[in-house]
Amino acid sequence: MNGGAVSLKARALILGGADFFGLHLARRLVTEGYHVVVVDNLSRGRNRAEVAALGATPGVELIAGDLTDPATWSALQRGWAQIYLLPPAPLPRAIESDPVRSVRGHALAALHLLDWAAPGDKVFFASSGEVYADGVEDGVVQVPTEESEPVVVGDLAEPRSAYAASRLFAEAALVHAARAGRSRVVVGRFYDVYGPRMGTDHLIPQMCLRAVRGDDPFLVKGPHRKRAFCFVDDAVEATLRLMEAPAAVGEIVHIGNDAPQAAIGEVARMVLRIAGVETRVVAEPAPPGSPARRAPDLAKLRRLTAFEPSVDLADGLRRTFYWYRRTWAHGRP
């Protein structure tokens, strides 16, 4: 994007923005000339130092608010150049322990946004490639996955299936609202985005921290499972391009990196090489519900935005590892 083309008075609203992706998006929007307001309930063990730094950033205002509470929406001002609804990235432990919270949060936030948004508002909703997981496992969804592939929701009694269904509910509500002219919505389905400031509960941050500690043996769950990992800077760039693409309104678009998929075991060995650590890599069973493969087809994203990923896996892992090593050294992993 061209920062010079954006008014310094333009305002962007990030709903649920004190999380990993929201932190990176907010900082990027500030460099593009936006005044950014972040609304978040500040739960889920946010990195307090990162959140405090975000709130202290010139051009950023941080507001505590629960997006499932109508009172939060009633208190929000109007007149935003861009609006982003960013449900938290899935934490397997949280999904397993409290699936109702995920389902309720996604559904109510989307419905409240629909009732609150004005017809001309430009809205981005962050969904997930996780919605295809059951279809991939059942053999009815191809990998790499196009947006036209069927979405299959398995047993709703399984927490991860319920999580996927909640994302699909929000997608359906927002896409049909956009096509009815109620607001200008684009839905982005993210695929395995990683990078600095991601917390400690996701795969690559865990690998980085265990490499810093020098864990021996180095345990890897599902080492033969394959993923197409996307560095967060690329995901932010794709998101901003979609928000500037008129043809993306009312569309569902995959966001990620379509470079050759990497086995999770190989990712672990790459992290260990970056860390300079020699240890035994020991395989463990994959987490329940984790598909054997996950990767996006980016043809639609390219057609709409001319986007190309710019950070390869080796570079992204280096940048992520060094950030976690620094934060560990300063006592805040």
Quick check: 305 and 245 in contact, CB under 8 A?
yes
Q: What's the confidence (pLDDT) of residue 27? A: 92
Q: How far from 119 is each of 113, 133, 286, CA to CA, in Å? A: 12, 33, 45
Q: How far from 242 is each of 3, 131, 173, CA to CA, in Å? A: 16, 20, 19
Q: Please give the model's pTM, rounded to 2 decimal places.
A: 0.92
pLDDT greater than 90 at residue 327 = no
Domains and CATH numbers, the chain: 10-195+229-258+292-310 (3.40.50.720)
Q: Give percent of the chain with pLDDT exceeding 90.
A: 69
Instruction: Label residue 230 exposed, middle or buried (CB < 10 Å: 0-12, 13-18, 19+).
Output: buried
pLDDT digits (tens, 9 = 90+) for 215-240: 999 999 999 999 999 999 999 999 99
- Phi, psi at residue 200, to the nearest 5°? -125, 5
d(CA 279, CA 269): 10
pLDDT digits (tens, 9 = 90+) for 270-297: 999 999 999 999 999 998 778 899 999 9
Task: Give alpha helix (H) positions in the chain.
Answer: 20-31, 48-55, 70-74, 92-97, 99-116, 133-138, 159-179, 203-213, 232-243, 264-275, 299-305, 313-329
pLDDT digits (tens, 9 = 90+) for 31-72: 999 999 999 987 654 566 777 777 788 889 999 999 999 999
Q: What's the confidence (pLDDT) of residue 90? A: 55
Q: Which residues partner with 125 through β-bridges? A: 85, 187
Tell me the pLDDT of the chain averaged across its residues: 89
